Chains A and B, each alone.
Chain A
Amino acid sequence: MTDQTPALRLENIVKTFPGVRALGGVSFEVFPGEVHALMGENGAGKSTLMKVLGGIYQPEEGRIFVEEVQTVMTSPLQAKAKGVMFIHQELSLAEELSVAENVYLGELPRKSFGRVDWARLYAQTDEILDRLKVSFNARTRVGDLSIANQQMVEIARALTVEAKAVIFDEPTASLTDAEKVVLFDVISDLRADGVGIVYISHRMEEIFKITDRISVLRDGEYRGTLVTAETDEDEITQMMIGRSLDLSRNAAPVEVGEVALRVEGLSCGDLFQDVSFELRQGEVVGFYGLVGAGRTEIAETLFGLRTPSSGRIFLKDEELKISSPIEAIGHGISLVPESRKEQGLILGMNCRDNITLPQVDDMTAGPFVADGAEVAIFDQYRDRLQIKTPSWRTSVGSLSGGNQQKIVIGKWLAMRPDVLIVDEPTRGIDVGSKSEIHNLLRDLAAQGYAVMVISSEMPEVLHVSDRIIAMYHGRIMRKFGVGEVTEDSLVQAISGIGGDGQAA
């Protein structure tokens, strides 16, 4: 492999932003016919490196070579002209246009007088789609395709010119297992054609399945390259976070207290039906199920964002009617919502003001907000949750995902709730912060909080929960007590097989 010419080579790339050295001399190469993984925690510099490669950022130092020809990247279009393609995690397709128009967006084949050559457009696109073995054709409207098929359109885009290197940025984030198989086939076809592939992902099993080598970034520094066949998860994790990670469940016996929250026969239209459960002080109850199983909707109902069609909610044996978040908060219910950026944070606001937002009415001296008291609360939760931020004045939008999530959690802990609901506690967060947040949830239970965790990740739900409630199509399928759960039974329950018979 070493006597080959690299398809793409980066040499000593340095990129700084005010106050941050985002990339500190990163070198990296991918050979034709190689799948090279790029790994690192969020904030390690992967996205910055890709933006440098796509010409969106200009590096202060360092050089980029395509097939050993030095190249200055000025825009993604120019990178494409040089044979460097990007398949983004977030799709950037025009939904109202056809597949063919999307594939050749900006480069539609022309006839005389600038008229679009539709026949050629559809023929060329269908040719590419054949290579991808997809079930739709060039004339399909993109908005009618599934997410996975839309991703295929993105890939088709990359195949319109002769690609030398293709960069996949978390391509499987929204794919089902079956769809992944198709994607991996495409990748191995590309590899067989001699394309160099850069594969960015957090998912270890994929990395081991399809990559040849793995390069690791940490804090903007290049940490080294491993040959996939000669390494294991521990070594990679250690390289990524600088220490090894303990994901095993701390098996300390749970001392549960009184019932904090009791729900009886709660229904909300088509979203969920006849949901009953108890949540005690000192325990974490995990809600597991597929997306759309009704878990988030239960949380939103308990938080006063939805009106239940029937059923009763008791908080410490007192029946409640909750019709707004203000009332829920007043009763001691807190919700760390599913989407941190859309629902959890005011990104342009500073850290302190985000944390104190729900209680800003109470933090007053006379008619004015008491700055000192607010800073005291911020300091307290910064220390307790180990939030890494230069100062309380820093705007939340500039923090990493993990620290942002800690701000949201801090905001709700500062309300001293009786019931803490956490929806997808670690979505989009790097490995290191993930385990910190898991430990935090366990600690909170140990301190007597009643914690309800909603998660779509099985390792997470197994790791943090004392009891697990499995949901399927808006109904509780099965409740697992302490120590009762196995992965198999859990998978069956959320697929609608073999529950307690509650489901229709």
Chain B
Amino acid sequence: MTDSRAKALGGLLARQGILVAFVLFMVGFALWNPRFIGIDNVFGVIRSSAILGVMALGVTFVVIGGNLDLSVGSMMSFSAIVVLDLHENPAFGPALAIPAMFAMTMALGALIGFLVGYLKLNSLIVTLGMLSAIHGLTLAYSGGQNMDIANQQATWFGVFGRGTVAGVPIPVLMFGGLALILAVILAKTPFGRKVYAVGGNGTAATFSGIPRARVVFMTYLISSFCVATAGLIQASRTMGAQNTVGQGMELEVLAAVILGGASLLGGSGTVFKTVIGVLILGFIQNGLLLAGLQFYAQFVVTWVIIILAVWLDIAAKRGRLWSPIA
């Protein structure tokens, strides 16, 4: 009896380990410091997670389609710098700067999509290379200077990062709205189904008449659209940006997607799960800050969380925590 109970518990831990750990963590921190689950803090966490979250939504499509995207961090820096620069350019102004920035960012996404989808190059190598190449592009574009909006009172540009509707911050609304739209696309449309098919077994998808290259191409286009949105929020919130504003975010984004339960092998995951993953990451980092941990410790903690998530993902598949065979 106790044996079967222990087994059931083990199974639950293996399957829902991340959620269980998250709940324990939340309860523990709430008992220790009630401020942690106060309305202000919760909204604060969601708001500060929105940029990461928007990027994670797009990467969810890429990962389910069986690929990786490590270029999103440096691509976000690019978007922020470009939109700020064009905003200051009298020929553009905010109304033209935004669509122009989206077009430029998505052109980069299309290039990655072409290389990975149509030329079938390894996505790890392509996007790792793009991480560096786009960083170089950003520096070349900005001449190494940080970008600032000179006259912050004279523009409505700050609305995306600083505005609220009925008390809810606009970044949170954009994150929520985009999550909803992308969730429906992924779960309910033929295109979403094809993303799962291509990531689950690309060869079988081809044999079923699914245009694999086009589907992969589209996932990168969606990812770059999300990056552009994140870059817009970032630029708007701070009305200025460094060349390195998105540096290192690719790993946090990937951590959130995996924490949510998408498999790195492709074919599984959902938008909802990614949102959960984003919130888990946000709350854990926030909790550790409240606990007085140094900000820099977060980088190590994030790594530990990624390893834990990957381990539990594998453990859930084989039904136990450790096994001599794969």
B10 near A: Cβ within 8 Å?
no
The number of residues on chain A lying at the interface, defined by a beta carbon within 8 Å of a beta carbon of chain B, is: 31
From the candidates A75, A346, A361, name the one contacting B190 in the complex (CB within 8 A): A361
Query: With a CB–CB cut-off of 8 A, which chain B residues contact A349?
Result: 196-197, 200, 267
Contact between chains at B200 and A325 (CB < 8 Å): no
Segment at the interface with B among A178-186, A352-360, A446-454, A496-504: A352-360
Q: How far is the CB of B195 from chain A (nearest CB, A)?
A: 11
Residue A487 lies at the interface, judged by CB distance under 8 Å to chain B: no
Centre residue among A347, A353, A369, A411 by max chain B CB count within 10 A? A369
Q: Mark A69-81, 1 if CB is under 8 A from B, else 0.
A: 0000001100000
B-contact 0/1 string along A353-392, CB 8 Å cutoff: 1000110110110011100000000000000000000000
- B93–chain A nearest beta-carbon distance, Å: 34
Q: Which residues of B contact A369 (CB under 8 A)?
A: 188-190, 193
**Contact of A360 (CB < 8 Å), options: B194, B211, B324:** B194
Q: Output the least CB separation between B156 and chain A (Å).
A: 33
CB of A161 closer than 8 Å to a CB of B = no
Residues of B within 8 A of A266 (CB): none
Say yes or no for A56: interface residue by CB 8 A criterion.
yes
| CB <8 Å contact, B204 and A329 | no
**For the complex, what is the distance from the CA of A188 to the CA of B74, rounded to whole Å?**
66
Known: A346-B197, A368-B188. A326 touches B209 (CB 8 A): yes
B200 — nearest CB in chain A belongs to which residue? Answer: A346
Q: Is B203 an interface residue (CB 8 A)?
A: yes
- Which of A305, A328, A342, A353 interacts with B201 by CB under 8 Å? A342
Given contacts A326-B211, A367-B189, whether A342 and B206 have CB atoms under 8 Å apart is no
In the complex, A76→B208 CA distance in Å? 39
Is B200 a contact partner of A347 (Cβ separation < 8 A)? Answer: yes
A91 vs B172: C-alpha distance when bound (angstroms): 54
Complex CA gap A343/B200 in Å reads 11
Greatest chain B CB density within 10 A among A325, A328, A343, A348 is at A348
Determine whether the beta carbon of A325 is less than 8 Å from that of B267: no
Which of B189, B196, B209 has the most chain A CB within a 10 Å cutoff? B209
Q: Mark B165-201, 1 if CB is under 8 A from A, else 0.
A: 0000000000000000000100011100110110011
| Assembly CA distance A345 to B211 (angstroms) | 16
B16 to chain A, nearest CB (A): 15
Q: Are B268 and A348 in contact (CB under 8 A)?
A: yes
A344 within 8 A of B: yes
B301 → chain A closest CB, angstroms: 31
Contact A342 B203, beta carbon cutoff 8 Å: yes
Tell me if A337 counts as interface (CB < 8 A to partner B): yes
A303 to B209, CA, bound (A): 10
State whether the Cβ of A335 lies closer than 8 Å to any Cβ in chain B. yes
Q: Which residues of B contact A357 (CB under 8 A)?
A: 193, 197, 205, 208, 210
In the assembled complex, B207 has its CB within 8 A of some CB on chain A: yes
Instruction: Find chain B residues with CB under 8 A from A329 CB.
Output: 209
Task: Select from chain A the residue with minimum beta-carbon distance to B11.
Answer: A18
Which of B188, B209, B267, B324 is close to A358, meaning CB atoms less than 8 Å apart? B209
Q: Which residue of B lies closest to A340 (CB)?
A: B204
List of A residues within 8 angstroms of B184 by Cβ: 368
Nearest residue, chain A, Cβ from B184: A368
Q: Are A343 and B197 in contact (CB under 8 A)?
A: no
B150 CB-CB contact with A under 8 Å: no
CB-CB contacts below 8 Å: B199-254 with A: 200-201, 203-211
Cα distance, A357 to B201, chains bound together (Å): 12
Q: A56-B325, A357-B197, A360-B194 are in contact. Are A344 and B189 (CB under 8 A)?
A: no
Instruction: Give the residues in chain A near B201, CB-CB below 8 Å.
Output: 342, 345-348
Least Cβ distance of B271 to chain A in Å?
15
Give the complex CA separation of A346 and B205 in angstroms: 8
Of all chain A residues, the one with the shortest Cβ separation from B4 is: A60
CB distance B209 to A343 under 8 Å? no
- List chain B residues, Cβ under 8 A from A360: 190, 193-194
Q: Is the CB of A325 within 8 A of B189?
A: no
Residue ID in chain A nearest B263 by CB atoms? A348
Q: How far is the CA of A357 from the CA of B194 in the complex (A)?
A: 8
Residues of A within 8 A of B209 (CB): 324-326, 328-329, 358
Q: Which of A346, A349, A357 has the most CB of B within 10 A?
A: A346
Nearest residue (CB) in B for A353 is: B193
Q: Are B267 and A344 in contact (CB under 8 A)?
A: no
Complex: chain B residue closest to A363, CB-CB: B190
Point out the residues of chain B lying under 8 angstroms from A367, CB to CB.
189
Residues of the B chain whose Cβ atoms lie less than 8 Å from the Cβ of A76: 324
Question: Nearest Cβ distance between residue A396 and chain B, in whole angstroms?
Answer: 10
Q: Mark B95-107, 1 if CB is under 8 A from A, else 0.
A: 0000000000000
> What is the CA–CA distance of A75 and B324 in the complex, to the nearest angstrom?
8
Give 1 or 0 for each of A411-423: 1 = CB within 8 Å of chain B CB.
1000000000000
Q: Which of A56, A347, A364, A411 contacts B208 (CB 8 A)?
A: A411
Across-interface contacts of A411 in B (CB, < 8 A): 208
A204 to chain B, nearest CB (A): 32
List residues of chain B with CB within 8 A of the CB of A348. Answer: 200-201, 267-268
CA distance A465 to B145 in the complex (A): 75
Minimum CB–CB distance for A262 against chain B, Å: 23
- Specify the chain B residue showing the minimal Cβ separation from A415: B209
B216 CB to closest chain A CB (Å) equals: 15
Q: Chain A: which residue is nearest B325 at the CB level?
A: A56
Docked pose: A337 CA to B201 CA in angstroms: 14
Report how far A316 CA is from B225 CA in the complex, Å: 46
Taking CB atoms, residues of chain B closer than 8 Å to A303 are 207
Assembly CA distance A361 to B193 (angstroms): 10
**Which chain B residue shows the least CB distance to A367?**
B189
B314 CB to closest chain A CB, in angstroms? 15
Report the Cα distance A337→B209, complex, angstroms. 13
Instruction: Check A325/B206 contact, CB under 8 A, given A348-B267, A353-B193, A368-B188.
Output: yes
Q: Which of A306-358 contact B (CB under 8 A)?
A: 324-326, 328-329, 335, 337, 342-349, 353, 357-358
- Interface CB pairs A-B, < 8 A, 23: A56-B324, A75-B324, A305-B207, A325-B209, A326-B209, A342-B203, A342-B204, A343-B204, A343-B207, A346-B197, A346-B200, A348-B201, A348-B267, A349-B197, A349-B200, A353-B197, A357-B193, A357-B197, A358-B210, A360-B190, A361-B190, A363-B190, A364-B190
Q: A75-B324, A344-B204, A348-B200 are in contact. List 10 more A-B contacts (CB 8 A).
A: A305-B207, A329-B209, A337-B207, A345-B201, A345-B204, A346-B200, A347-B201, A357-B210, A358-B210, A369-B189
A-B complex: 4 closest residue pairs judged by Cβ atoms: A346-B200, A368-B188, A329-B209, A360-B190
User: Using a CB–CB distance below 8 Å, which chain A residues touch chain B?
Assistant: 56, 75-76, 303, 305, 324-326, 328-329, 335, 337, 342-349, 353, 357-358, 360-361, 363-364, 367-369, 411
